[in-house]
Structure 1
């Protein structure tokens, strides 16, 4: 086995076209990383074909415009050596976690961290949240000798590593020795990921834009999963997080609101929306009038303007069929994380200018968040 075997929770098309692809390219270049064991944590039997299709090699189509040049290529991703399901193979997941894993990746969806009634149970229950399942696995590793391990959540949550650590520490309350292990021998990494992955391929694979970023916040004992042009180690994620969450992600969620209000069909694409004058004008207006003042207050006006231009180009990518209905999944949670969070962030930067459109969106979605 190579130097950095990875256990990955989540089978999303995003991971397929992002971390799994980067690690595949690093492995092909001779780097001592991988292979990846993918774990399906949802227990969704409808995704069994996808789970099996990840192993051995699957295609990722990269299509779009990069630096003014057309990019259309298909990359075979071969970093996944094995797949497991928590629902049917929990004992083997435990063994792999305890004995074979150096780095843990996760992307469990917008609701993956949400606490569940079963989370406090002492034995495995499939209905547990991802943090609760991770706590059981870390407890088993600790009991087996407590080898160090690195945990790298990739969920779109600000301070995702710190948030996940706090929840695991909460679930381990009263277990002093285990908590010391979690503090001293587990490296909890904050990271931010960015790539538009517009559609799945069957049984596995995806279509993605050329742009990609995996920004990883530096800290003592950090192990960088691989060297790759899209992987950046930064002193702080704050600026990148603000731009990503409050421009690109907020822009997507704002377009969902526009689409819902217009009662658009299920096959409407993001690029079609930004080709519509009314939708594009509404998006540009909310970004300039309600979002930009916060970035100006933070001293990031120039960075905001450049990122907005890049984002609008990405939204208009002529090759990606990015369905707005896909973005609309878990919409209320996304409003909380992207729009309500931006309103709070703006105040923290000293921006108290009125933001009526965004405030109204938060109010409309508050009852279901």
Structure 2
């Protein structure tokens, strides 16, 4: 069966987000078609996951949490993935699907997904995701060059712009062909996207546990092809407001809690929900939101949107089913402080933010 959606990455996030959306859309006739999933890491320990993703019976995604005050606890079967491949052992199959079938490329390759490995080249199977993508794009160009939409889901601001710039830079170095570069510019759409869903745990060999809240915002581009229609997918003209809300309310709140957790040397396996069960911690966070964060959004005419998003955020933080460990959030802490807190301070000049300034300064 033809798979017009080609997905690079096998993460539990993609299973409970893109794969689930497409599965639900397919059931209503609202999707381009099914998905081929590609494992890019070559990790042999994930071989069972690769096989399970394409099981004809589907894989489970458990949705657990609060939705409009109601407790949600249901299991869904995701049946959108009909083929799963590995670039390490099935490169020729990956290339054929990319050239002949794909209309939309989805990727979620982790925090270092756009890093090009030292000495990487187009010969054989490239090591890094950007070089793999470049080689596949060159193959598609040489075999008719049908238009293509690329929807990166990595947690980077303006991820489509960043991936496009990287691919164009690599193409000039490794594929010196003006026709190819022109084709990349006119026929390959790299869209900025924002993804938002807390996926708290994997299921084995495939599947995940996730919260009810889910959002996939895609910034419109001329010629863009959508993978499906779904209530959680929004096509917008400007991604910036959505990025700001997520980065400087949900993500900022996580980093504030992680900073408190680190400085207080709290229990190693403490979760966000458990931490907020402490009244002083909850009051500290709400006060910071009310007195520092909301005024910052008000400066940009986004006060009501921020208040509404904050209400959703607190409900998500206190999800009774969600075990979101502070030790996981605290990874790369200084880098997260820069993106989530220091950047917010720069975005809101003139707003008094003593607590956020203290965290940004490392105090």
- TM > 0.5: yes
Matches within 5 A, 1:150-229: 150-173=149-172, 174-229=176-231
2:261 aligned residue: 259
Aligned-pair CA distance for 1:33? 2.3
Comparing 94-103 with 261-270, which one deviates more in the overlay?
261-270
Q: Is contact 2:31-2:227 (8 Å) kept? A: no
Q: Distance in 2 between matches of 1:263 and 1:78?
A: 43
Matched, 1:81 2:82: yes
Q: Say which SS state the counterpart of residue 151 (structure 1) adopts.
A: strand
1:307 aligned residue: 309
**TM-score, scaled relative to structure 2:** 0.91
**TM-score, scaled relative to structure 1:** 0.90
Q: Distance in 2 between matches of 1:126 and 1:294?
A: 44
Q: Deviations over 1:23-47 (max 9, x none)?
A: 0011122234231111111222232
**How many residue pairs get matched?**
358
Matches within 5 A, 1:29-48: 29-48=28-47
Comparing 143-152 with 38-47, which one deviates more in the overlay?
38-47
1:105 aligned residue: 106
Matches within 5 A, 1:335-350: 335-346=337-348
Matches within 5 A, 1:217-366: 217-346=219-348, 351-362=349-360, 364=362
Aligned-pair CA distance for 1:229? 1.1
Q: Say which SS state the counterpart of residue 199 (structure 1) adopts.
A: strand
Aligned-pair CA distance for 1:172? 1.2
Q: Say which SS state the counterpart of residue 30 (structure 2) adopts.
A: coil
Query: Which structure 2 segments of 5+ residues have no match?
Result: none
Q: Deviations over 1:205-234 (max 9, x none)?
A: 111111111111122112221111111111
Q: Distance in 2 between matches of 1:114 and 1:283?
A: 35
Q: Is contact 2:160-2:190 (8 Å) kept? A: yes
Q: Say which SS state the counterpart of residue 338 (structure 1) adopts.
A: helix
Matched, 1:5 2:4: yes
Aligned-pair CA distance for 1:68? 1.9
2:122 aligned residue: 122
Q: Say which SS state the counterpart of residue 38 (structure 1) adopts.
A: strand
Aligned-pair CA distance for 1:356? 4.8
Aligned-pair CA distance for 1:80? 0.9
Q: Deviations over 1:88-141 (max 9, x none)?
A: 32232222211221110011112212343234x23255542x222211211121
Q: Deviations over 1:143-166 (max 9, x none)?
A: 222111110001122211111111
Q: Flag the 1:32–1:294 CA change in 2: closer, same or farther, 3 A.
A: closer
Aligned-pair CA distance for 1:13? 1.0
Aligned-pair CA distance for 1:363? 5.1
Q: Is contact 1:215-1:233 (8 Å) kept? A: yes
**What is the root-mean-square deviation in Å for CA atoms of aligned residues?**
2.2
Matched, 1:65 2:63: no
2:16 aligned residue: 17
Q: Distance in 2 between matches of 1:300 and 1:55?
A: 43
Q: Distance in 1 between matches of 2:131 and 2:341?
A: 28
Q: Flag the 1:364–1:199 CA change in 2: closer, same or farther, 3 A.
A: same
Q: Distance in 2 between matches of 1:134 and 1:253?
A: 33
Q: Flag the 1:113–1:336 CA change in 2: closer, same or farther, 3 A.
A: farther
